[in-house]
Homo-oligomer: A and B are copies of this chain.
Amino acid sequence: MPDTPALGLRDRKRIETRLRIETAAVDIVTAEGLDGATVDMISDRAGISPRTFFNYFESKEDAILGTQDMGEVQRAIAAGVASAETDDLVAAIVSTMFQIFGPMAARTQLKAQRMALVQEHPRLLSRQIHQFTQLNSTMAAAVVEFLNKRETTLPRDPEHVAEIAVATCVASVRIAVKEWIADGATADIDSMYLRSIGLTRETLNTLQ
- Chain A residues engaging chain B, CB cutoff 8 angstroms: 89-90, 122-123, 125-127, 129-130, 133-134, 147, 151, 155-157, 160-161, 163-165, 167-168, 170-172, 175, 179, 199-200, 202-208
* Complex CA distance for A136 and B192, rounded to whole angstroms: 22
Residue from B89, B147, B203 in contact with A164 in the complex, judged by beta carbons closer than 8 Å: B203
A151 and chain B: residue at smallest CB distance: B206
Please tell me which one of the listed residues B134, B157, B207 contacts residue A165 in the complex, with CB atoms under 8 A apart: B207
Chain B residues with Cβ below 8 Å from A163 are: 171, 175
Q: Measured between alpha carbons, how far is A16 from B92 in the docked complex, in Å?
A: 51
Chain A to chain B contacts (Cβ below 8 Å), 26 pairs? A89-B207, A122-B130, A122-B133, A122-B134, A123-B130, A126-B126, A126-B129, A126-B133, A129-B129, A147-B206, A151-B206, A155-B205, A155-B206, A157-B199, A160-B179, A161-B199, A161-B203, A163-B171, A163-B175, A164-B168, A164-B171, A164-B199, A165-B207, A167-B168, A167-B171, A204-B208
How many copies, total?
A: 2
B207 touches A168 (CB 8 A): yes
Which residues of chain B come closer than 8 Å to A123, judged between CB atoms?
130
User: In the complex, what distance in Å separates the CA atom of A133 from the CA atom of B127?
Assistant: 12
Cβ of A199 to closest chain B Cβ, rounded Å: 6
A122 to B127, CA, bound (A): 11
Contacts of A167 in B (CB 8 A): 167-168, 170-171
CB-CB nearest 6 A-B residue pairs: A126-B130, A167-B171, A164-B203, A155-B202, A168-B168, A164-B171
A206 to B143, CA, bound (A): 11
Give chain B residues whose Cβ lies under 8 Å from the Cβ of A133.
Answer: 122, 125-126, 129
Q: Are B164 and A172 interface neighbours, CB within 8 A?
A: yes
Among A89, A90, A129, A207, the one with the most B-chain Cβ atoms within 10 Å of its Cβ is A207
Chain B residues in 8 Å Cβ range of A160: 175, 179, 199
